Amino acid sequence: GQNIDQPTEMTATEGAIVQINCTYQTSGFNGLFWYQQHAGEAPTFLSYNVLDGLEEKGRFSSFLSRSKGYSYLLLKELQMKDSASYLCAVTPPGTNAGKSTFGDGTTLTVKP
């Protein structure tokens, strides 16, 4: 089975940096996704890690350590619009790549 843990809530200040952690224990692993979900809306893709290391995309970066079952999402220069839920999702190997298992999400509140 799959078990994914994320902090439930985080608060940060506009302009700051925040790191959202995700740990997972899975019976099979292909890759790890991060999605952003604003309240009442559908999730949207942020990042995808397959290999160990850091993937950078603008203000957002994501890190993966497969040996430790650990990932984090790093958000820099926080803006008010970054207030949202951030979902960590693990995908299995093989042809079921889209059959993701999701964590419960981390609700980030950005304050002025």
Report how far residue 36's alpha carbon sits from residue 74's, in angstroms, rounded to the nearest whole number.
13
Applying the rule CB under 8 A, the residues between 77 and 96 that interact with other proteins are 87, 89, 91, 95-96
Q: Which of residues 16-75 bind other proteins (CB under 8 A)?
A: 30-31, 33, 35, 40-45, 48
Report the residue number, 35 or 63, with the smaller CB distance to other proteins: 35
Interface residues with other proteins (CB under 8 A) are 4, 8, 30-31, 33, 35, 40-45, 48, 87, 89, 91, 95-105, 107
